[in-house]
């Protein structure tokens, strides 16, 4: 078990943020093995918290016992338990509806927060509706450093155009939102099991151009290799061999991944089309999404080149390479759906070391 000594010598809270009320929303389901670690980093935040709402989805382990233990020690904790299972998506939407704070942050049951996370995110959110911090993956606690060098990490690309192709470009556990964002989401999407709360919030906030990145803090995000969404890291070092491997992989996946890419385009276009005209940042994304969905390849190539810096994970500084990558993007985007492709799963399993 990792020991952060988090109850000792905590930094003094930033009093400038004390007037901003913050609700933490956590959903649990059989999370007992890691729950105490996460709760310790939530209740000991350097910024005062209005409430910590925890909604359990019918756990069968001792999750509820742990929650009751913490609720007895920390009055800000409010516990709810569903009478029947809702599933991850609806449970988060339901729990979020209970929050009364001006700002809301989402906590997963098995992650670990830096103790200044909420304080730093409040400082950077400004007039935006969403702030996103670094999400640092780890498999076991031995990989975690209390003070990672965040300056060496690559900030995520939070552009709306990238959301057309990359689900979860901003994860819920790395978000702080202003509650006005909830009011901007069409009601029909709040009761749908098709989209995660984080995906929906990010798309809507980006459509209004109200997203900011907070580079001064982080969430340590626990990755479980057995999870469906887990994808082994690929070697992204710039080299001829890696470029050839990347092209071969994306060409192989292109046909198989096309239904998944198009389903994603349909989903995001549906959300954006439901937003009013004041969500002005949606229009470029709609142009690209509709051109690609309709297989109008001339327009698709044109928009991918034009919006290439909003599509790539990181900006390409070489102008020739940048142009070529934009031109190739309608094919290379297959890589973002590779976890769903049976051919990729087969090759990944074959290449794993026993």
Q: Does 73 score more than 80 pLDDT? A: yes
Structure tokens that stand for 69 in this block: 């233990």
Asked if 189 and 119 touch (Cβ cutoff 8 Å), the reply is no
Mean pLDDT of 280-288: 98
Summarised one tens digit per residue, pLDDT across range 198-217 is 999 999 999 999 999 999 99
Cα(115)–Cα(174) distance, rounded to whole angstroms? Answer: 13
Point out the least confidently predicted range of 67-71, 173-177, 268-272, 347-351. Answer: 347-351
Please, are residues 185 and 207 in contact by the beta-carbon 8 Å criterion?
no
Exposure string over 263-287, b if 16+ CB within 10 A, otherwise e: ebbebbbebbeebeeebebbebbbb
Helices (H), 186-227: 197-207
Q: Per-residue pLDDT tens for 101-119?
A: 999 999 999 999 999 999 9
**pLDDT band at residue 25, thresholds of 50, 70 and 90?**
very high
Domains and CATH numbers, the chain: 15-222 (3.90.550.10), 240-351 (no CATH)
pLDDT at 158: 95
350 pLDDT more than 60: no
**End-to-end Cα separation, the chain, in angstroms:** 27
The answer on pLDDT for 99 being more than 50 is yes
pTM: 0.86
Mean pLDDT over residues 279-292, rounded? 98
Mean pLDDT of the chain: 87
């Amino acid at each position: 078990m990792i020991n952060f000594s988090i109850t000792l010598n905590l930094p003094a809270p930033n009093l400038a943020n004390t007037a901003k009320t913050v609700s933490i929303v956590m959903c649990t389901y059989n999370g007992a093995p890691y729950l105490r670690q996460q709760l310790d980093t939530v209740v000991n935040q350097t910024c005062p918290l209005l409430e910590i709402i925890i909604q359990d989805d019918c756990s069968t382990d001792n999750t509820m016992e742990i929650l009751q233990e913490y609720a007895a020690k920390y009055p800000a904790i409010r516990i709810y338990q569903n009478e029947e299972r809702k599933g991850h998506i609806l449970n988060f939407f339901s729990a979020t509806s209970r929050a009364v704070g001006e700002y809301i942050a989402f906590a997963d049951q098995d992650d670990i927060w830096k103790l200044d996370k909420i304080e730093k995110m409040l400082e950077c959110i400004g007039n935006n509706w969403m702030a996103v911090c670094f999400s640092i993956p780890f498999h076991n606690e031995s990989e975690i450093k209390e003070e990672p060098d965040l300056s060496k990490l690559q900030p995520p690309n939070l552009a709306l155009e990238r959301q057309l192709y990359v689900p979860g470009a901003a994860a819920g556990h790395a978000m702080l939102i202003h509650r006005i964002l909830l009011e901007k989401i069409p009601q029909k999407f709040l009761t749908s099991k098709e989209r995660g709360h984080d995906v929906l919030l990010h798309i809507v906030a980006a459509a209004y151009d109200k997203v900011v990145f907070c580079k001064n803090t982080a969430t340590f995000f626990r990755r479980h290799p057995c999870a469906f969404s887990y994808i082994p890291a690929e070697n992204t070092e710039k080299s001829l061999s890696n470029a050839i491997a990347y092209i071969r992989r994306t060409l192989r996946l292109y046909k198989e991944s096309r239904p998944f890419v198009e389903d994603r385009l349909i989903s995001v276009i549906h959300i954006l089309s439901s937003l009013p005209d004041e969500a002005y940042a949606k229009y470029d994304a709609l142009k690209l999404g509709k051109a690609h969905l309709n297989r109008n390849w001339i327009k698709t190539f044109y928009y991918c080149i034009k919006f290439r810096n909003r599509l790539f994970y990181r900006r390409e500084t070489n102008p020739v390479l940048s142009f070529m990558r934009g031109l190739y993007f309608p094919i290379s985007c297959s890589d973002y759906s590779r976890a769903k492709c049976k051919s990729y799963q087969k090759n990944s399993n074959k290449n794993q070391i026993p």
